[in-house]
Amino acid sequence: MSQEYQRVPIKSEADIVLARQGGRRLAAELGFSSTDQTLLATAISELARNVVQYAGTGEVLLSAIAIGSRRGIQVSAMDQGPGISDPELAMRDGYSTGGSLGLGLPGTRRLADDFSLVTVLGEGTTVTFKMWVR
């Protein structure tokens, strides 16, 4: 599995747009369909907004990944924010502590090929997912 990284610092709302545009560009290069580019960009937008809203700042890492001839993208959104006290609850449709829709995490899991949430209270949160060209 080979990797190359692209790092998008997330400091404000404007960076959310940069992160999802970066993801879309990489996806287009790798041959993602236009529908899958949009799915990926939407998921990145959700995670990057969580960083801004709940942690203030953080970063999004975009990596081109490959297993054999299969190509894909791995996205990580990470921050050193407050962490999530009940991750299982946070993964539920409609659960939000921010008066929002509560669909960002569960929605991203639904459309990703692979999804993980690692969070430590007081230390931060990292959400990682993969999407493969299909």
Ligand X SMILES: Nc1ncnc2c1ncn2[C@@H]1O[C@H](COP(=O)(O)OP(=O)(O)O)[C@@H](O)[C@H]1O
Task: Say which DSSP state 123 is in.
Answer: T
| Strand ranges across the sheet with 3-10 | 3-10, 58-67, 70-79, 124-132, 114-120
- Which of the listed partners (a second copy, other proteins, ligand X, none) does 27 bind, with a CB threshold of 5 to 8 Å by partner kind? none
Binding span for ligand X by CB under 6 A among 16-24, 33-41, 49-57, 64-72: 49-57
Rule CB under 6 A: choose which of 18, 65, 96, 109 binds ligand X: 96
For residue 48, the one-letter residue type is A
Residue 37 as a binder of other proteins (CB under 8 A): the answer is yes
In the complex with other proteins, the residue whose CB is nearer, 39 or 78, is 39
- Determine, following the binding rule CB under 6 A, whether residue 76 of this chain makes contact with ligand X: no
Name residues contacting other proteins, limited to 53-112 (CB under 8 A): 93, 99-104, 106-108, 110-111
Interface residues with a second copy (CB under 8 A) are 99, 106, 110
Residue 65 backbone phi and psi in degrees, to 5:
-125, 160
Q: In the numeric block, which tokens belong to residue 104?
A: 């960002």
If we measure between CA atoms, which residue out of 129, 54, 128 comes closest to residue 97?
54
How far apart (Å, rounded) are the C-alpha atoms in residues 117 and 67? 22
Q: Which residues bind ligand X (CB under 6 A)?
A: 46, 50-51, 54-55, 79, 81-82, 84, 90, 95-98, 100-106, 125
